[in-house]
Amino acid sequence: MKKSFYLYVLTFRGGDWSDAKVRFAEEVFNEHNFPKQSMDFDELSSYIESYATDNLKIEVFDELWSLYVDLA
Reported as a single tens digit per residue, the pLDDT across 2-29 is 899 999 999 999 999 999 999 999 999 9
Whether residue 68 contacts residue 39, with contact meaning beta carbons closer than 8 Å, is answered with no
Domain that holds residue 10: 5-69
The model's pTM: 0.92
Taking CA atoms, 57 is separated from 4, 23, 36, 51, 64, in Å, by: 19, 10, 17, 9, 11
| Alpha helices (H) in the chain, listed in sequence order | 5-10, 20-30, 41-50, 58-69
Whether residue 49 contacts residue 18, with contact meaning beta carbons closer than 8 Å, is answered with no
Count of domains observed in the chain:
1
For residue 47, give every residue at least 6 positions away whose Cβ sits within 8 Å of its Cβ, in sequence order, or none: 34, 35
- CATH label of the domain that carries residue 58: 1.10.150.260
Residue 72, pLDDT above cutoff 80: no
